[in-house]
Structure 1
Amino acid sequence: MLVIPKIFAIILGSIFIAVGINFFLVPFQVLDGGMIGISLILNYIWETRIGLMIMILSLPIFIYAFCFHREYFFESISGMLVSAFMIDLFAPFQYYFIYYIELTAYTSAVLGGALVGIGLGLMLRFKTSTGGTDLIAQLLTNWIPINVGVLIFIMDFMIIGLGGLLISLETFYYSALTIAAGGVTTSLLNMKGKN
């Protein structure tokens, strides 16, 4: 695989993810699934940096991948590092965006999820990811013949279900919309399955 298109996919995908999270999800305290969702919960409760938390939470998965699936480790480490950096880079502009474009929580949840899904889908097409549940899904496709986007969708709903104990029913509803939009866009960009 050519390196330049992969680098471009990582950077562009990371920008989509950072914009979706910072401009659409955070202002309404909406969650996403996976390591991003857990990092958002930590951000909402303790104001931790989202990108930094993604790196810390993904560490055990990357250690496993390094020990048993080095190909996935090397394919995903750059996606995780660049996306985490972009998320924290865009963080100071989280609330600036909503002052100029008036969105409802519903619209923001759907658009944020779609943007995150596009970012993840772009990366997955070039055999890279942000790590976390994306990496777990890639590893599982070796044993389960299910589209990687569908696997991410399932894991995200499991995480949001657990996170629902910490959030309101309204936030849970908007977070479910975010995950649905993200799962659909990720799946659409990876319709042919594993590349």
Structure 2
Amino acid sequence: MESVKKIIALVVGSVFLAIGLNLFLIPQGLMEGGALGISLIVHYVTGTKVGLTFLLISIPIFMLTWVVYRPFFYNGIHGMLISALVIDLFAPLKDVAHILQSGPIASSAIGGIFIGIGTGLMLRRGISIGGTDLLAQLTARSLKINSGLIILLFDIIIVTVGSLSVPRVSLVLSLVTVCSVGLTISAIVSWNVKTVQSNDVFNRL
């Protein structure tokens, strides 16, 4: 039963991720953090598929996790492969994004929420999509510091490089996306914990 729930979370999460990227971020030339952000930079500059680039970027990192800390490899390999495939399968959404008529500000926030929902659903089932987040986790584990701080640092660097490399990319709006993703992930991952804590308090009354 648990494996079925993981599969559902993986597929549904990847779909949310793909919608956020293809329907909101890419049509507006917006950035995200992590390996997805690097993939978007490559896409904006060369037109290469985002999912394929994400896969190519992630492979060396997964090889490193296999050598250094194998649990990270097992937790992320399926998420990386499926999400990369679904992202490119949903690429045609870019061509119909104009129907929504959502501006850059709305797209940066909504796209971030979709990506956050997708990533959060997978994380709740112990699934990671890997990328530079895995590299950040390895770094944090080696330095014994908070992995969230390393991930945030990586994300800020990546969106900054993206805004400098691609003239049409807005640094401010991309940071809005990064914050939107982070807050949504945090809310989804901690939702059940908060509910359990609230029930415990209620039961004690």
> With structure 2 as the length reference, what TM-score do the two structures score?
0.84
CA distance in 1, matches of 2:145, 2:164: 32
Counterpart for residue 117 of structure 1: 116
CA distance in 2, matches of 1:162, 1:179: 14
What is the Cα-based RMSD across aligned positions, in Å?
A: 2.1
- Would you say 1:190 and 2:195 are equivalent positions? no
Does the 8 Å contact 2:16/2:118 carry over to 1? yes
Query: What aligned pairs does 1:4-19 form with structure 2 within 5 A after superposition?
Result: 4-19=4-19
- Would you say 1:132 and 2:145 are equivalent positions? no
What is the number of equivalent residue pairs in this alignment?
Answer: 190
Identity %: 38
CA distance in 2, matches of 1:14, 1:44: 21
- Would you say 1:166 and 2:165 are equivalent positions? yes
Does the 8 Å contact 2:39/2:50 carry over to 1? yes
Does the 8 Å contact 1:62/1:73 carry over to 2? yes
Relative distance call for 1:44 and 1:119 in structure 2 (3 A) is: same
SS at the partner of 2:165?
coil
Cα deviation for residue 38 of structure 1 reads 0.8
Query: What aligned pairs does 1:38-187 form with structure 2 within 5 A after superposition?
Result: 38-99=38-99, 101-139=100-138, 142=141, 144=144, 146=146, 148=148, 151-168=150-167, 171-187=170-186
Long gaps (5+) in structure 2: 194-205
Q: Which amino acid aligns with 1:81?
A: L
Q: Which amino acid aligns with 2:91?
A: A
Render the CA deviation track for 1:118-139: whole Å, top value 9, x for unaligned: 1111111222111112323444
Cα deviation for residue 96 of structure 1 reads 0.8
Whose Rg is larger?
A: 2
Structure holding more helix per residue: 2
Relative distance call for 1:131 and 1:177 in structure 2 (3 A) is: same
> With structure 1 as the length reference, what TM-score do the two structures score?
0.88
Long gaps (5+) in structure 1: none
